A = this chain, B = another copy of it.
């Protein structure tokens, strides 16, 4: 944990204070066009002064890649505001099957499910990259909301957005085949992380087949097979931890509607 006066911390604070100008994004599986605009950032509507006040109430914490931020089944209190990095929120069933609910980036908050209450985490959060988060306790949140209506609006917007994400995920999982979900995910990755190269788009993010599988609710092997098929059809090609999409329209077509 960094002390408030450490230079690293103040730089990080700076990035949060300015986060409404940064191109923050969440990586999630959804067909909702509205989500493409990116999620609402918690402090977006606050003045600089208010932001400082909020951050002063929180505890800054560094989470290294691969480390758990919180685990399902453990008690929780309040939320974590992401200052930098990337947090993967996921759930593991007793059978061992795992589903990724979303990857959250800077400016969003994770934790919960409740904001105030002291229930149990029903999902886990792990750092997908070295991250800095600010922990806001339920008590602190309550106090802040009372004197800062814009924060309440921010929370409502954030929760609304999460609701959209999770319901969209449920829609995908409940009504689409794995192949369709995978096509959808690839398109989403193109939008979020894609680098256009001529008329192709390269996805350079280091996501393993297992990562993809967890996002679409499938097994690793099936993702491998499906990607091979797409490759055989000439729709995409893979080069060591990089996926190059050649025919976006073909992916669109097989994504099945919308």
Contact = CB atoms under 8 A, between A and B. Distances in A.
Interface of A: 32, 34, 91-95, 97-99, 101, 112-115, 119-120, 122-123, 145-146, 149, 152-153, 155-156, 159-160, 162-164, 166-171, 173-176, 217, 256-258
A162 B173 CA distance: 17
B32 A122 contact: yes
A156 B116 CA distance: 10
Contact of A149 (B122, B146, B168): B146
A146 B95 CA distance: 46
25 contacts: A32-B113, A91-B167, A91-B174, A93-B171, A94-B258, A97-B176, A99-B170, A113-B163, A113-B164, A113-B167, A115-B156, A122-B167, A122-B171, A123-B171, A149-B149, A149-B152, A152-B156, A156-B156, A159-B163, A162-B163, A162-B167, A163-B163, A169-B170, A169-B174, A173-B174
Copies in the complex: 2
A114 B115 CA distance: 19
Nearest to A100: B174
A77 to B, nearest CB: 14
A176 B94 CA distance: 10
Contacts of A112: 160, 163
